[in-house]
Amino acid sequence: MSSYLEIEKLSLEIICSEKSVNNKMLLLCSLLDKKLSHYNWTGFYLADVENKLLHLGPYIGEATDHTIIPFGKGICGQAAETNKTFLVDDVNAESNYISCNINVKSEIVVPIIKEGVVLGQIDIDSNTIAAFKEQDQLLLETICKALAPYII
């Protein structure tokens, strides 16, 4: 398995490439899914700030019914409202949680912010309890910060 530093380097190469932003997001999902075995669903949601909605973007993992999530609803919607990373060790202990798959045990959502406005987020589910550590948060926050300028 690659180190987090190597994964960060590969992620930044994808982000700085000439590809479309959609392609970059899909390649990032694919990279993270392949390199980190505790990432069991990896995807992006993109924000419609005016209507306070999140729309499902590129992802790797099982199809989800939750293609549109209102701000404030679930882990994703709460991260969109607070503009802060939301790390959940045990999703079953959360009352404001939207379940996509009964196997999911923990989740991390990192918002993508440009000039104080939420543009979207990366959302990772794990089938392991408390799967996400500080190194995951730092990696995902680096990715979201680097990706933000490319999102229109």
Give residues in contact with ligand SME (CB under 6 A). Answer: 41, 64, 66, 69, 74-77, 97-98, 100, 107, 123, 125
Name the residue nearer to ligand SME (CB basis): 12 or 60: 60
Amino acid at 28: L
Nearest distance from C-beta of residue 133 to ligand SME, angstroms? 19
Tokens 């075995």 locate to: 37
The alpha carbon torsion through 142, 74, 78, 131 (nearest 10 deg) reads -40
Nearest distance from C-beta of residue 13 to ligand SME, angstroms? 26
Nearest distance from C-beta of residue 122 to ligand SME, angstroms? 11
Nearest distance from C-beta of residue 5 to ligand SME, angstroms? 27
Name the residue nearer to ligand SME (CB basis): 33 or 123: 123
Supply the DSSP string of the chain, one letter for each residue: ---HHHHHHHHHHHHTSSS-HHHHHHHHHHHHHHH-TT--EEEEEEEETTTTEEEEEEEESS--S-SEEETTSHHHHHHHHHTS-EEES-GGG-SS---S-TT--EEEEEEEEETTEEEEEEEEEESSTT---HHHHHHHHHHHHHHGGG--
Name the residue nearer to ligand SME (CB basis): 19 or 55: 55
Name the residue nearer to ligand SME (CB basis): 27 or 71: 71
Name the residue nearer to ligand SME (CB basis): 33 or 125: 125
Nearest distance from C-beta of residue 41 to ligand SME, angstroms? 6
**Cβ-proximal residue to ligand SME, closest one:** 74
